[in-house]
């Protein structure tokens, strides 16, 4: 794994783990999972928005299992 990909993975894990303690502020619909994941993986989504998205623990667990 490249250094840049590892750095991105660690950032996403940190954002997801920190979001566990927060109230859900954004619910992701299941039909959006894959397209949103592709946007996150291609750095089209800012970290502040990822942190908000990952408050939806169902989505975060899906993303983590699939991509992290």
For residue 66, what are the contacts with CB-CB under 8 A and spacing of at least 6? Answer: 37
Would you say 15 and 54 are in contact if contact means Cβ atoms under 8 Å apart?
yes
- Domain residue extents for the chain: 3-67
pLDDT of residue 17: 85
The HSE-up count of residue 61 (CA atoms within 13 Å, CB side) is 5
pLDDT of residue 15: 86
First CA to last CA distance, the chain = 12
Rounded Cα–Cα distance for residues 39 and 20 (Å): 21
pLDDT of residue 37: 96
User: Mean pLDDT in each 10-residue stretch from start to end of the chain (68 residues)?
Assistant: 85 84 85 96 93 92 94
pLDDT of residue 46: 93
Tokens of 50: 């990822």
pLDDT of residue 1: 65
């Amino acid at each position: 794994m490249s250094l840049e990909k590892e750095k991105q993975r660690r950032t996403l894990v940190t954002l997801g783990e920190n979001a566990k303690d927060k109230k859900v502020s954004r619910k992701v619909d299941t039909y959006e999972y894959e397209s949103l994941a592709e946007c996150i993986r291609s750095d089209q989504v800012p970290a502040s928005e990822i942190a908000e998205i990952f408050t939806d623990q169902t989505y975060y667990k899906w993303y983590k299992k699939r991509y992290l």
